[in-house]
Amino acid sequence: MGGEMIVLDGLSLTLRDIVRVAREGCGARLSDEAVTAVKEANALVEEWAASDEVVYGITTGFGDLASVKISPRDRRMLQENLLRSHACGVGIPYPVDVTRAIMLLRVNTLSRGHSGISHATLSGLIDLLNAGIHPLIPCQGSVGASGDLCPLSHLAIALLGDGEAEYKGRIVPVRKALAAAGLKPLSLGAKEGLALNNGTTVMNAVGALALVDALRLAKTADIVAAMSMEGLHGVPWAYDARTHELRAYRGQNDVASNIRRLIEDSEIVERHKRDRVQDAYSLRCVPQVHGASRDALSYIRSVIEVEINSVTDNPLIFPKDREVLSGGNFHGQPLALAMDFFGIAMAEFADISERRQARMVDASLSGLPPFLIEGSGLNSGFMIPQYTSAALVSENKVLAHPSSVDSIPTSANQEDHVSMGGYAARKAVNILENVRKVLAIEMLLAAQALDFSRLSMKPGRGTLAAHECVRGAIPYIRKDEYLHPLIERVLELTERGSVIDAVEAEIGELA
């Protein structure tokens, strides 16, 4: 890792910065202002730790043990005990990009100087990130209040030399990775364990990367819908700007504009636009359905962008006032609601896509060869890919049930309402991946449907660019073939953004 550095001050981190660190290998460092703020807060914590004052998490235990006073000689051990006892997650580890986003966001929130962590310990976390030492963080164990205690503890124990990490493509003990990188385990001071594991950083990191992917996938959904519309000889009347100006949702208007640009100069649309006055809802209402999901993503973005530059641990230090306040910024409810909404919004892209697929394979509705294959009967064609999409859509119906409506008391009822934001974020990613697959299957079908018209009529400028991109990876299907590899190739095209790139090179950037 290394190269360009993102400067962290706790106030100005962006989604693009997160991607650069999480997926492109950029490093991070603290701003001079952040270093000063961190040192001021830590000095006050050290003062309290040496006194007899009752300060939660500094001179007392945690959670329901807040009334237990800790002797001065044990206050450092208190912090390390906290992390080791709380690092009890289960399940598969988060992928490296998510782990790097977690590390980055944790440093960013602590850099505001309201958490009491020392500059040395915070620098140790930055060193792990910049050295490419990625602690294994099991994905299950967070209830979303007090934030992501369990997974963040798995991150923090790496500073002590405990646990395992991904380092240079291998899973190794953290101590071995530290030694290889020329780093050493740390000892924690007062409040540092609590600063490291208390907050919403994990659900925030998962949500931020999912949002970045979803915003691109929304463009893919519009492209695929336009391809299907032309393949089904749809009519253009539903995308007229005058209709959408009467209902001023930004998402709806953006999608309608995208569809108009994608099908511009289409000989297929021109030939068939007088065939009927309207299409089925899965074609006619693409702007309304896709647009509503886009508007939901805009709301989710506003939540995540607030959260990535927020301080979410407890208690919080206010050095200028010489006060420490116990509050609830660790509670993940804002993110839990947003990520539940994310799952619902993304599921709708797949819901309407599957209905378009069903129309394409049904000869009585499409006017195309049954199951989009010549010689149907001997050949089953694209009968079963639509089944696969139906299965994924059905999975999404279960996954889209909101986590945030559930709460289960923890810590002997001291923490008697929790957000379940960690699971809301994780299942949102599962829905996102299902949607990606459903849209890839639709793209495979739509390319085949377009081929039946392309012999005599040219598609729109945007849809033609998309079709040619697909056909550069897979051929027109004349007889039954092993379809799984073909779906995987289209899926790879959409994951790389190749189809979007091809379309935007032809017609300019989509909304």
Which own/partner pairs from 53-62 qualify as long-range (CB within 8 Å, at least 24 positions apart)? Answer: 55/315, 55/324, 56/314, 56/315, 56/324, 56/326, 57/191, 57/194, 57/314, 57/315, 58/116, 58/190, 58/191, 58/324, 62/194
Structure tokens at 493: 């095209």
Cβ contact 30:126 at 8 Å? yes
Q: How far apart are CA 101 and CA 90, in angstroms?
A: 20
- C-alpha 16/C-alpha 127 separation (Å) is 21
Half-sphere exposure of 323 (CA within 13 A, CB side): 4
Question: Bridge-partner residues for 432, per DSSP?
Answer: none
Is residue 294 within 8 Å of 287, Cβ to Cβ? no
Rounded Cα gap, residues 306 and 329, in angstroms: 12
Listed in sequence order, the residues at least 6 apart from 251 whose beta carbon sits closer than 8 Å to its beta carbon are: 290, 291, 292, 293, 294, 295, 298
Alpha-carbon separation of residue 122 from 166, 418, 462 (angstroms): 20, 28, 49
Buried b (16+ CB within 10 A) or exposed e, 312-345: bbbbbbebeeeebeeeebbbbbbbbbbbbbbbbb
What whole-number distance in Å separates Cα of residue 313 and Cα of residue 197? Answer: 8
Q: Read off the tokens for 120.
A: 């040395």
Active-site hit among 56, 94, 239, 423: 56
Per the document, the length of the chain is 511
Token couple for 155: 């991150």
CA distance 240 to 262: 13
56 noted as active-site residue: yes
Nearest to 326 by CA among 405, 422, 414: 414
* Token pair 């500094």 in the structure block, residue: 58
Rounded Cα gap, residues 122 and 380, in angstroms: 60
Tokens of 236: 């253009």
Catalytic residues: 56
